Structures are given as C-alpha cells and as structure tokens.
Amino acid sequence: RHNSQGDANFLEDETTKNFAQKVADHYSARSNQTLEEREASPIIHLKKLNNWIKSVLIQLYARRGDAVLDLACGKGGDLIKWDKAKIGYYVGIDIADGSIKDCRTRYNGDADHHQRRKKFSFPARLMCGDCYEVRLDKVLADDAPFDICSCQFALHYSWSTEARARRALANVSALLRPGGIFIGTMPDANVIIKKLREAEGLTFGNSVYWIRFDEVFSDKKFKSSRPFGTKYTFHLEDAVDCPEWIVPFDVFKSLAEEYDFELVFAKNSHEFVHEYMKRPEFVELMRRLGALGDGNQDQGTLSADEWEAAYLYMSFVLRKRGQPDKN
Ligand code: SAM
C-alpha cells in the first residue's frame, strides 16, 4: 500500500504493525496494582488529576441511557465514571489483551479492585482489537449508533501513519449518531514541540517523565507536508514506556472536519483545571479524589514535576454533524 505522501522515509506497514504490537505488549504487561501500590506511586496525584479530567468530561457530556464506545479502554478504569453517569450500554475495545482481561474482571466485579462494589448497572461488550486498523463499523454494526465515544490517553497511537489516523476518525464518525459526541485526552503537540525546541538535545523531562525524539528530528523541524509519523519515546514513571506520535492539533482538527466533526473545544490540562475548578461540583469531585490542595492553586496536591507532566496533555470535545433523531 502507498501512503498519500509518497515519502520514502514514511513508515512501512510492517514497521507500523511492529510498533502497534510494541504498544500492545507494553500495556498488556502492566499488571494491576493493589491500592497500596497505587497510593505509593510517584505520580499518584497526577493519576488522580487525570481521573478528575476524565470524570469532568464524562459528567459534562454523558446523558442517562447513553450508548458509549470507549476506544482504547485499557483496564476499564473509567467504568465507574460511566456508571455514575447512568449510561445504558458500554462497548470497550483495546489492543492489549491483558488489559481487556483486567477490564472484564473489573466489570464482572470479582477482582480485589479499588473497592468492593455492586455490579455495574449497564450491559457491556469488551473486545480486544486494533481500533486504528480494524473497520469497527463492520464489527459493531449491531451495536451502533453510539451517543458518545471516548478515547482517553490513546488517540496519539493512531498518528503513526495517515491511514491509521484516518481509520481512527472514520471509525468514530461511522459509529456515532448525528449530533453524537467524541471526547478525548491526548498529548498536546504544541507543548511538546516547544519543550523540544527549548531543550539542548533531543531529550527533555523531569523526575516523573522524559521524552526522547529520534535522531531524524535533530533539526527540530516538523514539515507540515509530513504531519504523521513523528515518533518519540515517552517515559512516565510508573505508567508508560512507549513509542508515541505527535498529533499536530491543526491537522487533527481539519482531518476531523473531513469526517464530519466540528470542534466544541480543545484545552490544555492546565487550562482545563483552571476553567472547571470554578464549578463547585467539580471542586467537590477533586476533593473526593484527593487531589485538592489547601491553597487556591490549580496545582492542588500535585508535585511541581507532576504538574509539569500534566501540562503535556490536552482534552478535546468534537461533535458529529447533523441533528439527532427526534424519537
Ligand atoms: N483509556 C484508558 C484510560 O484512560 O485509563 C487507557 C489509557 S492507556 C494510557 C493507553 C491505552 O491505549 C492502552 O490500554 C493501550 O493498549 C491502548 N491502545 C494503544 N494503541 C491502541 C490501538 N491501536 N487500538 C486499541 N487500543 C490501543
């Protein structure tokens, strides 16, 4: 297969598959943590903040009875958040079979997980698959349309090639109803590229994360003619060690438009916190999660290094064009 750029350096299909496998193996190998291990994590407050961000997105956009598609659902860390939103149906897909197994265990309620809880009130379908390769409209023809799709901390894994990025957006677009919502959180390319340019070499970071770009980007110039396949290695202490790809936001936005999405908003995590911590219900949620500091600062209980790592991410909300059915 040819890519539209006809670029000889462009990742070949096999290489892309190998990278996808690498990502899958990485996440599959990450075992479930006990509550004690989780609390001892050097990024526990960052994890709490990220859970708060996802909860806010879900509370803002999920409606009672919604059919939900969770792309790259991982171990099902958001199941409880969806349950609180009283959704009607849930489909979760992830490339890592180890994660899907954990997700199934969590859904069935027989894990020693975070808390003993009653069963989830919605039916769920959990599947292992590559969301950026497979035609999900075919696989999920009987489950569609969905009211809301979520892709949390994972859409950037589709940006290795144009074909995969397109498949990701085409899948979501084909499965959402008109007026349906697509929410997600992913690395903020503007922040990462700014930090790369400020760095002396091709690596930068702090005590909780580092990012290393490949030698091919030693001039630190990103050609707008090649917006896919800009790879870096991301290490987040106690969480991630993976090849990842830059998602230039303007390209993401215009590609999304091609697939009938309009942008509702996009916000860096710092801005997101600042904005939604103005609302008492979300302040209360932050307090319950244990990430609310004692001052007036957005940083809450995060260390300075965790707060800087939070700055690497942004959230987006897209809406599928069209009017929802009246009935
Ligand atoms: N969304 C979950 C959450 O917020 O807790 C998991 C986030 S984790 C940082 C990234 C997830 O993306 C992993 O579970 C990984 O297996 C999944 N992933 C990466 N590439 C994928 C692909 N091509 N198809 C499906 N899932 C993928």
Cβ 153 under 6 angstroms from ligand 1: yes
- Give the position, in ligand 1's atom list, of the atom nearest the Cα of 74: 14
Q: What pLDDT, on the 0 to 100 scale, is given for residue 118?
A: 63
| Cis peptide, bond prior to residue 187, ω within 30 of zero | no
Report residue 295's pLDDT band, with 50, 70 and 90 as the boundaries. Answer: confident
Cα 297 to ligand 1 centre (Å): 31
Q: Under a CB-based contact definition with an 8 Å cutoff, are residues 301 and 290 in contact?
A: yes
* Burial (CB count <10 Å: 0-12, 13-18, 19+), residue 327: exposed
Q: Which DSSP string corresponds to 178-223?
A: EEEEEEEEEE-HHHHHHHHHHSSSSEEE-SSEEEEE-GGGTT----
Report residue 131's pLDDT band, with 50, 70 and 90 as the boundaries. Answer: very high
Give the count of alpha carbons within 13 A of 136, CB side only. 33
Q: What pLDDT, on the 0 to 100 scale, is given for residue 32?
A: 75
Q: Residue 212 forms beta bridges with which residues?
A: 203, 233
Cβ 130 under 6 angstroms from ligand 1: yes
Q: Under a CB-based contact definition with an 8 Å cutoff, are residues 299 and 307 in contact?
A: yes
Cβ 234 under 6 angstroms from ligand 1: no
| Nearest in space to 99 (alpha carbons), one of 79, 120, 73 | 73
| Nearest in space to 228 (alpha carbons), one of 311, 167, 175, 181 | 167
Q: What are the tens digits of pLDDT across the range 175-204?
A: 999 999 999 999 999 999 999 999 999 999
Mutate-to-test residue for ligand 1 from 13, 153, 247, highest number of ligand atoms within 8 A of CB:
153
- Give the position, in ligand 1's atom list, of the atom nearest the Cα of 70: 1
Cβ 58 under 6 angstroms from ligand 1: no
Residue 12 has pLDDT above 60, yes or no: no
Return the minimum-mean-pLDDT range out of 51-60, 75-84, 168-177, 293-302. Answer: 293-302
